Structure 1
Amino acid sequence: MGFKNLVSIFLLFFLISCGNQEKKDVGILLQAWSGKEIQFPEDLTFTVKGADTVDFSVSGKYKILTYVDSIGCVSCKLQLGRWKALMKELGEAEGNPVKFLFFFSPEKRRDFLGTLKSEDFVYPVCLDEEDRLNKLNHFSSEMAFQTFLLDSDNRVLAVGNPIHNPKVKELYLRIIQGEQISQGKESKQIMTEVVADKSSVSLASFDWHKEQKATFTLKNTGGSPLVIQDVTTSCGCTTVSYSKEPAQPGKEITLEVVYKAEHPEHFSKTVTVYCNTASSPIRLSLSGDAK
């Protein structure tokens, strides 16, 4: 499949609800990266939890490369629990041809290592404290475009973060499994309509030590069952629980959002809901002052 066609499929999966200008801007970015060879620094050092140095090669039939810079919330960007779930799904330990390349450029090494340990993340990572990988490749400042699916020659097959966007994950899996990528598959999805009772919740001021909860309700106003395919959050400190059962026409699905502050802060977090509607993804927000 040509890279031009891959870009059009990516736009279909990833930006179906976005405006024309945003699609154009992202299309230009994807065209620039498609087929580009990623350059890796020499003398790379990989560690487990920042302690033990391990022998680790960046070679492989397929590689998912993710780069995390030092800007912003560490746990928000890492989402290590979701990465572990994806790695388990791909079954790399059982000889799957996919290798994961984690390059982290932490400003606060101590906080970063603390996150690795608290999440019990035992997969090798490269602590690229001099940001050498980024200096060689000049990645986008947008987090959504700092993850890549690479071939054996380190050329970019697809761009996007599969743990933040299930459509990107689907695209990656199809390429890895050797499926023919076509727009037809996506169009076969049975669609419905949905209305959210609200798009944002303010938690006002509260003691940052205390867990906070909020609810959002999605009502199926269409003629087919409403299926939530995935829910992602912009931060590891925000979790969401909901029924996995489809909501029949006229019925509702309630999402319970739990926020646990890591420290005092004013915050604004995003919950992104992917479902079988033309308006998907649905973005909900949670804000407040943890004091």
Structure 2
Amino acid sequence: MIKYCVLLFLALSFVSCNNSKQEKLISLLKEWEQREVLFPDNPIFTIQGRDTFNFFLEENFKIVSYMDSAGCTFCKLRLRGWNQFISYLDTCSHSRIPIFFFFHPKDKAQIEDILMHENFKYPVCIDVNDSFNKLNHFPSDIAFQTFLLDKSNRIVAIGNPVYNPKVKELYLKIIQGDKVESDNKKNVIQTEASVGKSVISLGHFDWQKEQKASFVLKNIGKSLLVIQDVNTSCGCTEVTYSKEPVRPGDSILLDVSYKAETPGSFNKTITIYCNANSSPIVLRIMGDADGY
């Protein structure tokens, strides 16, 4: 079964030290603990438009990711991130780990175009009838629609390794047979950090023009502040920052650029993973990309 240390590892990966949020998250994780994921009969997978195989393979582990039709499809897919993760997984695991995707799109042609444009060469089931979700009733939060399964298709861990580097770390530990520690933060010197403004409105602008904003992260603790990773909720949002540690009392700028894919209102998050007690720190940009 999923041991408590794994649950706590996941809880600490998704929220900072907020007991109420951690308790709700642990409750969700326990609900899915060791649940068997059910698959539709004879799902058809495709790679670059070519029909492939039914995938019920006898591997020790497999990763299965579901995506619903809500929100921006391109933003949610994060195919470049998946390409990088799969390549990394192939180099560090002792055996091949199958990864399969079930996408329930609003527009099948759109998702096929995205797969081709991103040169995505891994098995995808375009599940027009949403049959995979109807069998399992997955959580509505995309952060919890990806699963590491054992040979019997039971859930070993939950979370999207492309969205969250801590989940990526957990998946790799389990796959490689390493010990999962629930007190991983104790091995890292912690500090304190504050953000001058955690939400920035970009207002109204021409959707075809790239927008920029900057967040200020200040080290208000007594040890060096180190940013370990920065994750965005959308491929249309990019963040640049100095990789140098931040001395106590100093600040670092996180420069954000946003290029809308289509006109419309948006609300995007930037998640900062660092050695601050409040990590992960969630920042947000919002606004209205106007079409004329």
Q: TM-score, normalised by structure 2?
A: 0.92
Residues 281 and 212 of structure 1: is their aligned pair in 2 closer, same or farther, counting only changes over 3 Å? same
Query: Within 1, Cα distance between the matches of 2:76 and 2:221?
Result: 35
Query: Within 2, Cα distance between the matches of 1:237 and 1:143?
Result: 17
Query: Within 2, Cα distance between the matches of 1:96 and 1:102?
Result: 20
- TM alignment of 1:47-196, pairs within 5 A: 47-49=46-48, 51-55=49-53, 57-59=55-57, 60-91=59-90, 96-196=95-195
Query: Within 1, Cα distance between the matches of 2:91 and 2:35?
Result: 25
Q: Deviations over 1:28-65 (max 9, x none)?
A: 2211211111111121111123x111235242221111
Query: Within 2, Cα distance between the matches of 1:260 and 1:117?
Result: 21
Q: How far does residue 81 in structure 1 lie from its aligned partner after superposition?
A: 1.2
Match of 2:8 in 1: 8
Residues 16 and 200 of structure 1: is their aligned pair in 2 closer, same or farther, counting only changes over 3 Å? closer
Q: Which of 1-10 and 263-272 deviates more?
A: 1-10
Q: How far does residue 227 in structure 1 lie from its aligned partner after superposition?
A: 1.1
What RMSD in Å do the two structures reach over aligned CA positions? Answer: 1.9
Which residue identity is paired with 1:118?
A: H
Q: Deviations over 1:132-187 (max 9, x none)?
A: 11111111112111111111111100111111122212111111111111224331
Which residue identity is paired with 1:200?
A: V
Q: How far does residue 204 in structure 1 lie from its aligned partner after superposition?
A: 1.4
Which residue identity is paired with 2:281?
A: I
Q: Secondary structure, in 3 states, of the residue corresponding to 1:183?
A: coil
- TM alignment of 1:238-253, pairs within 5 A: 238-253=237-252
Match of 1:214 in 2: 213
CA contact (8 A) 1:92 1:98 kept: no
CA contact (8 A) 2:13 2:164 kept: no
CA contact (8 A) 1:225 1:247 kept: yes
Q: How far does residue 272 in structure 1 lie from its aligned partner after superposition?
A: 0.9
Q: Deviations over 1:72-109 (max 9, x none)?
A: 11022111111111111112698643221111011211
Q: Deviations over 1:236-271 (max 9, x none)?
A: 111111122222223322111111011111111111
Residues 103 and 92 of structure 1: is their aligned pair in 2 closer, same or farther, counting only changes over 3 Å? farther
Query: Within 1, Cα distance between the matches of 2:171 and 2:92?
Result: 18
CA contact (8 A) 1:202 1:288 kept: yes
Q: Which of 88-97 and 256-265 deviates more?
A: 88-97
Q: Secondary structure, in 3 states, of the residue corresponding to 2:40?
A: coil
Q: Which of 143-152 and 239-248 deviates more?
A: 239-248
Q: Secondary structure, in 3 states, of the residue corresponding to 2:25?
A: helix
Q: Secondary structure, in 3 states, of the residue corresponding to 1:202?
A: strand
Which residue identity is paired with 2:287?
A: G
CA contact (8 A) 1:4 1:31 kept: no
CA contact (8 A) 2:196 2:216 kept: yes
Q: Secondary structure, in 3 states, of the residue corresponding to 2:6?
A: helix
Quote the sequence identity (%). 47
CA contact (8 A) 2:16 2:281 kept: no
Query: Within 2, Cα distance between the matches of 1:5 and 1:93?
Result: 23
Q: Which of 116-125 and 261-270 deviates more?
A: 116-125
CA contact (8 A) 2:149 2:157 kept: yes
- TM alignment of 1:13-28, pairs within 5 A: 13-20=13-20, 22-28=21-27
Q: Which of 55-64 and 108-117 deviates more?
A: 55-64
